[in-house]
Amino acid sequence: MEESGKRSINGGLVVLGVALAVGMVLSSWLVSDTVKSVKLANQTIAVKGTAQVDVRSDIALWAGRFTARDADLVKAYSKLESDLEKVLGFLGRSGIPREEIEVSAVTTMIQYRKTSQGYDTNEIEQYVLDQTVTVRSKEVDLVASLSRESTTLIREGVEFFSFSPEYYYSGIEDIKIQLLGEATKNARQRAEQLAVNSGGKVGPLRAASQGVFQITPLFSTDVEDWGRYDTSTIEKAVKAVVTIQYSISL
């Protein structure tokens, strides 16, 4: 009777031991699988997407300054008026309508005679009068041409200084929206290629950030941290960069 009881107890202990062992194995497997799932859920990939479109400027700004000098203020002003007519005549002959020309107010500066030591005196040497004309036109090629040909005014006796023309594209904001979409698609393609190479699969988007836009001359590789807008060339390249983070499963 006692021996039978002992066998029963020993058998129960064996069953309990087996159950505990199986439980520990199952528990270990479940924990391992859970940890693996958590790790996979937290795995991400960050990629940059880029897009570029070439545009042609459709607005041109150009300015020129002319100067008249004389010891007599009235004569200096009379000369400036005459020079203004010559400048407007040049622009008109070049094909620029009067409504596209802005004429600034006259600025006046007095130059005093200097002593042999270089000090100013109270004696007026001459009056220097300046005026600026600014052209805003959609005829960008015409503006580019007249900015180069404006030196002909010097042969007419006009003291003329030509500033560099500036060229802009009026649809830049619409282009930016388009480029953001294309750059995002490019980022997805890059992420999928990287995932395939590593045996993974791209999941949902986790985070996205927009970089700065770079508007540069064609074929330029120059970039600036805060973005760039080149106004020196008619033909431009508009570039966008985005950084996208996706979840990834293996």
Helix (H, G, I), strand (E, B) or coil at 66: strand
Q: Of 168, 197, 231, which residue sits at a domain end? A: 168
Which runs of consecutive H residues, i.e. helices, occur in 198-224? none
CATH number (domain holding residue 82): 3.30.70.2970
Structural domain boundaries enclosing 150: 59-168
Query: Is residue 9 in a domain?
Result: no
Same domain, 139 and 49: no
Cβ-proximal residues to 157 (8 Å cutoff; 6+ apart), any chain: 83, 86
Q: Do 139 and 216 belong to one domain?
A: no
H or E element, residue 57: none
Distance from chain centroid for Cα 115: 52
Is 19 a domain residue?
no
| Together in a domain, 203 and 136 | no
Query: Are the CB atoms for 69 and 40 separated by under 8 Å?
Result: no
Spell out the per-residue pLDDT of the chain, length 250, in tens: 555 544 555 555 444 454 444 445 444 444 344 333 334 456 888 899 999 999 999 999 999 999 999 999 999 999 999 999 999 999 999 999 999 999 999 999 999 999 888 888 999 999 999 999 999 999 999 999 999 999 999 999 999 999 999 999 999 999 999 999 999 999 999 988 888 887 888 888 899 888 889 999 999 988 888 899 999 999 999 999 999 999 888 7
**Would residue 230 count as lying in a domain?**
yes
Residues 201 and 187 in one domain: yes
Residue with tokens 């960050």: 46
Number of domains comprising the chain: 2
Are 72 and 158 in a shared domain? yes
Using DSSP, state whether 115 is helix, strand or coil.
coil
| CATH number, domain containing residue 232 | 3.30.110.170
Domain boundary among 115, 142, 168: 168
